[in-house]
Amino acid sequence: MMILRSSPPSPFGRKVKIAAALLGLDKEITIEKTDTTDASDTIRKQNPLGKIPALILEDGSVLHDSPVILDYLDHRAGGAKIIPSEPNARYAALTLQSLCDGVLDACLLQVYEGRWRPAEKHEKKWVDYQAEKVNAKFFIVGPADVLKRYEREVEKAPFRRIKAKYSFRSYDELQEMFESTTRYREVSDHFLG
Ligand SMILES: N[C@@H](CCC(=O)N[C@@H](CS)C(=O)NCC(=O)O)C(=O)O
């Protein structure tokens, strides 16, 4: 059994959970809740950067960050399932992943402004700059019929609320939306047949 160090609201952790489900590997992974803000959490030993997600393999070795974990899961599932092997398709997929990760980073930087700095020190220019990246680049790739059904949920995506509130509560709302709307298996069937 592999162990995924993650936390329910973590977008990068959810990315790994979705990949595992798409690849049919979710039953081989136990999720161990992690608090990256807790200095005594073992994540800081497992990943010297103290970041989640981190995937602990059966032999005790630790993989991070999420692109590395996805690459490993794809390999473990037989290869070229979510990351193509043909060079053009492969580098297009990896670049798309990098873009999506960048959007998540821009979301997190807005959240961290609220989490780590007192309200009077929030730098609006910085937060707006990150929000621009999210607003400009946020999109979903997939078959039209699947997207149609998710459109309504995307409209409800609370990124703007995160921007407005910088609070854990908004993040919890994001998590709630995710739990109520994401159907891993359904998505898996559409994307992988
Ligand atoms: N590039 C990393 C980003 C991971 C990341 O930023 N994780 C956040 C939670 S979603 C985290 O651990 N933050 C705590 C920290 O930065 O110390 C990946 O793709 O896994």
Q: Domains along the chain? A: 2-76 (3.40.30.10), 95-187 (no CATH)
Exposure string (b/e) for 109-142, b if CB count within 10 Å is 16 or more? bbbebbeeeeeeeeeeeebeebbebbeeeeeeee
Element (H, E) at 30: strand 29-33
How far apart, in whole angstroms, are the C-alpha atoms of residue 109 and residue 133?
A: 11
CA of 26 to the centre of ligand 1 (A): 21
CB contact set of 13 (below 8 Å; sequence gap of 6+): 4, 6, 7, 52, 53
pLDDT value, residue 176: 52
What DSSP character marks residue 27? G
Query: What is the residue with the minimal CA distance to atom 19 of ligand 1?
Result: 66
Residues of the chain with pLDDT under 70: 135-193
Q: CB under 6 Å to ligand 1: residues?
A: 10-12, 36, 50-53, 65-67, 101, 108
**Is 161 in a helix, a strand, or coil?**
helix
Locate 93 and state its tokens: 């997929």
Q: Whose CA is nearest to atom 10 of ligand 1?
A: 10
Q: Tell me the whole-structure pTM to 2 decimals.
A: 0.76
Q: Which amino acid is at 140?
A: I
* Segment 118-149, tens digit of pLDDT: 989 989 999 989 888 876 544 444 444 444 55
Task: Please give the number of the atom of ligand 1 that sits closest to the Cα of 49.
Answer: 17
Looking at residue 92, its pLDDT comes to 82
Question: How confident is the model at residue 96, as a pLDDT?
Answer: 78
Residue 159's alpha-carbon distances to 91, 115, 155, in angstroms, are 28, 16, 10
| Beta pairing partners, 2 | 29
Distance 64 CA to ligand 1 centre (A): 10
